[in-house]
Structure formats: C-alpha cells, structure tokens
C-alpha cells in the first residue's frame, strides 16, 4: 500500500514537471498562472494562510533576482534573443509553483510511510532524518528572520543592500542549522535503533 502511495506521488511529481516545467505547457502563461494559483490555494488548504504567505516571502528574493537578470538580459539583448522578458516572466511563475507543488505533495509522505517502505533500516533512517530536518528547517526560518531583524549591524546602507545581506544571513544560518541538525538527528536515530536492536536480541 505504501509503495502504491509513494508511486502515485512520484508519478504526480514527474507529470507536473513533464507538463509544466519542461513540457508542452511551459510557455502557456495563462496555464502557468492558473497552476500557480491552484498550488497556492492547495497549500493554504493543506497548511494555513500564514504559512503560505511566509513561503511566498521566502520565494520572493529568488523570483526578484530572476526577474532582475531577465530585465538585464532583455535590455542588453543577450545572445540576440528578443524573448527574454516573456521567458523570465514564465520562469518567475514556474519557480514558485513547482516549489509549492513539491512541498505540498511531499508533505503527504508520513514517517509511518517511510518506516513501512521495503528498504534497509539504514536507508529508512536517512530518509527520516532528511524529512525531520527539513520540516524543522521550515519552522525555524521565521525565528531566524525575527532574530535577524533585531540586528542593527545589518541595517547600514540602502534598503536593498540590507535585504540582500539579511537573506544571505538567512541562507547561511539555515544551511548551518540543517547541516548540524541532519548530523545530530542521524546519530541519535542510529544510536536508538542500535540499542533497540541489541535489546531485542
């Protein structure tokens, strides 16, 4: 049963990417907008409005940077292409919609599903660790952002400079956190499993 569930999730992910990211509907702006609205709505129903806003805020600097580069490429007529603006606009929709889609769909995979997978315990532990670290990472972002707002040292310079520095700090802090969290959780899980295994013997 769990293999079927995970299989369906995998097929849905592959279909989404085949249809909207690399495939026939990639350059249909209207379809992409509908997909974006659809996945945002799905995320709101699955989680909450607050969580959705925070996720979109997280995407914003990436989308903004993408747009900025698209604009520069358009005005410099890079590689002689005329369609930079249109292509950038599509990418600015596809990026958040695929991210939100992946996030919502993967949230249907539970720890019990992972435990029931017909794979070795070592691989199960790895998957559990990754799931746990990323769900913690998502929650911790808001707190990191809150702390960064209290550091006046970041505020020197223009507003754009401040925001760029803040997001750089946020990314580094998140990376450090995930790195340590994955290592610690993995060690803890292996240790517990080993003791449980020995106790059962």
Partner 1 sequence: MQIKKGTYRLEKRGLNFNLSDELNFNNSANCFYLRGGNGFGKTSFLEKIIIPALKENKVPYLYIGQDIRTQLYTLRSLLAVQGIKVFDHDEVELLKLWINHSRSATVFILDEFDKYFPDHGFIFDWSNAFIRTYIMVTHLGYGQSEAVAAKYRTCNVKFDLIDFDGHIRNISIKKE
Rule CB under 8 A: say whether 85 interacts with partner 1.
Answer: no
Overall size of the chain counted in residues: 201
Instruction: State how far the alpha carbon of 156 is from the alpha carbons of 16, 140, 161, in Å.
Output: 43, 25, 8
The radius of gyration of the chain from alpha carbons, rounded to an integer in Å, stands at: 21
End-to-end CA distance of the chain: 29
Closest approach of Cβ 44 to partner 1, in Å?
Answer: 19
Place of tokens 């959705």: 52
Closest approach of Cβ 57 to partner 1, in Å?
Answer: 17
Rule CB under 8 A: say whether 200 interacts with partner 1.
Answer: no
Among 5, 154, 186, 189, binds partner 1 (CB under 8 A): 154
Q: How far apart are CA 111 and CA 137, in angstroms?
A: 17
Among 2, 9, 170, 189, binds partner 1 (CB under 8 A): 170
Contact of 21 with 39, CB cutoff 8 Å? no
Site string for partner 1, 86-125 (x = CB under 8 A): ----------------------------------------
Rule CB under 8 A: say whether 148 interacts with partner 1.
Answer: yes
Q: How many residues belong to the site for partner 1 (CB under 8 A)?
A: 21
Phi then psi for 156, rounded to 5 degrees?
-70, 145
- Which residues, including other chains, have CB under 8 Å from residue 131's CB and lie 6 or more apart? 109, 111, 114
Contact of 92 with 66, CB cutoff 8 Å? yes
| Stretch near partner 1 under the rule CB under 8 A, chosen from 7-15, 30-38, 72-80, 143-151 | 143-151
Rule CB under 8 A: say whether 16 interacts with partner 1.
Answer: no
Rule CB under 8 A: say whether 152 interacts with partner 1.
Answer: yes
Instruction: State how far the alpha carbon of 16 is from the alpha carbons of 94, 125, 198, in Å.
Output: 11, 28, 44
Closest approach of Cβ 182 to partner 1, in Å?
Answer: 14
Closest approach of Cβ 149 to partner 1, in Å?
Answer: 8
Rule CB under 8 A: say whether 168 interacts with partner 1.
Answer: yes
Contacting residues toward partner 1, per CB under 8 A: 140, 143-144, 146-148, 150-154, 165, 168-174, 176-177
């Amino acid at each position: 049963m769990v293999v079927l569930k995970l299989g369906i999730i995998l097929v849905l992910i592959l279909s989404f990417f085949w249809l909207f990211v690399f495939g026939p509907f990639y350059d249909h702006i209207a379809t992409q907008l509908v997909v974006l609205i659809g996945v945002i709505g799905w995320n709101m129903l699955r989680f909450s409005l607050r969580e959705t806003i925070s996720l979109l805020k997280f995407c914003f600097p990436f989308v903004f940077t993408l747009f900025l580069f698209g604009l520069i490429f358009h005005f410099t007529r890079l590689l002689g292409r005329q369609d930079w603006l249109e292509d950038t606009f599509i990418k600015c929709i596809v990026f958040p919609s695929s991210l939100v889609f992946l996030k919502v769909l993967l949230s249907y995979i539970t720890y019990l599903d992972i435990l029931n997978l017909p794979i070795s315990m070592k691989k199960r532990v790895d998957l559990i660790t990754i799931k746990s670290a990323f769900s913690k990472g998502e929650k911790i972002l808001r707190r990191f952002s809150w702390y960064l707002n209290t550091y006046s040292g970041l505020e020197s310079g223009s507003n754009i400079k401040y925001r760029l520095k803040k997001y750089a700090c946020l990314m580094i802090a998140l990376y450090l956190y995930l790195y340590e969290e994955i290592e610690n959780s993995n060690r803890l899980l292996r240790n517990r499993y080993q003791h449980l295994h020995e106790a059962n013997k």
